């Protein structure tokens, strides 16, 4: 019996050790000083890298590295990918940040109506999520290719939507001093339309302190 216990214990310990011992692979864009992978879909990875000339988007398929650039932009940041579709942001001069959707051939500008900045961070199917800055402060958005829906966590000062998978969106919301995560489930189309119409009546949010805003960016 003791021998059996020892053998079983060894199997358990080996199993635990085996689970922990995954495989790590370094990802460094050739010649870059820094590399930031941000999204993955299948074998394709997107992100951005820095070199002496600035920051650039990349697509890596497991073998080949490809630099991608939003036309006319000075800085590029690819954040999300689903299938062939990539979303991110590009700086095209002050003021304002513009988001893009790239399908491997065509570039599409994504800009929340009347917003100063629009930042797309995640994509699932035809749905894109991110944040925009407008008269009511920093708010999340859901864009299905046609319709825009504002995402505003109840009682918060800011809402950022970072990722989406199917009908579930994840992100953070904050008050004057603290930040919390959230999961938001996209409602049925009829309810979603009502939410979109209600966005025009959003309350004006209090401005966050510079310190809090900077911590969100970081």
Structural domain count of the chain: 1
Give percent of the chain above pLDDT 90.
61
**Cα 126 from Cα 217, distance rounded (Å):** 26
For residue 139, tell me if it sits in a domain. Answer: yes
Query: Under a CB-based contact definition with an 8 Å cutoff, are residues 24 and 7 in contact?
Result: no
Tell me the pLDDT tens digit for each residue of 147-189: 999 999 999 999 999 999 999 999 999 987 799 999 999 997 6
The DSSP line for 59-107 is: EE-SS-EEEE--TT-SEEEEEEEETTEEEEEEE-SSS-EEEEEE-SS-E
For residue 5, tell me if it sits in a domain. Answer: no
For residue 23, tell me if it sits in a domain. Answer: no
CATH code at 48? Answer: 2.130.10.150
Tell me the pLDDT tens digit for each residue of 30-66: 999 999 999 999 999 999 999 998 899 999 999 999 9
Tell me the pLDDT tens digit for each residue of 90-143: 877 656 678 999 999 999 999 999 898 999 999 999 999 999 998 878 999 999
For residue 10, tell me if it sits in a domain. Answer: no
**Cα 128 from Cα 99, distance rounded (Å):** 10
For residue 9, tell me if it sits in a domain. Answer: no
For residue 210, tell me if it sits in a domain. Answer: yes
């Amino acid at each position: 019996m003791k021998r059996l216990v020892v053998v079983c214990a060894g199997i358990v310990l080996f199993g635990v050790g085996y689970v922990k011992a995954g495989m790590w692979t370094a990802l460094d864009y050739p010649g870059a000083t820094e590399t930031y992978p941000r999204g993955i879909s299948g074998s394709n990875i997107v992100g951005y890298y820095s070199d002496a000339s600035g920051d650039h988007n990349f697509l890596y398929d497991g073998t080949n590295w490809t630099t991608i650039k939003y036309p006319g932009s000075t800085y590029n940041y690819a954040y999300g990918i689903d299938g062939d579709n990539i979303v991110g942001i590009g700086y095209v001069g002050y003021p304002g940040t513009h988001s893009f959707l790239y399908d491997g051939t065509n570039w599409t500008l994504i800009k929340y109506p009347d917003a100063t900045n629009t930042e797309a961070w995640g994509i699932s199917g035809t749905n894109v999520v991110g944040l925009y800055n407008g008269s009511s402060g920093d708010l999340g958005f859901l864009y299905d290719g046609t319709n825009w829906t504002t995402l505003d966590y109840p009682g918060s000062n800011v809402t950022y939507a970072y990722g989406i998978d199917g009908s579930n969106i994840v992100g953070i919301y904050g008050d004057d001093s603290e930040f919390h995560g959230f999961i938001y489930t996209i409602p049925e189309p009829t309810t979603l339309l009502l939410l979109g119409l209600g966005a025009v009546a959003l309350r004006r949010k209090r401005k966050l302190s510079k310190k809090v805003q900077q911590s969100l960016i970081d």
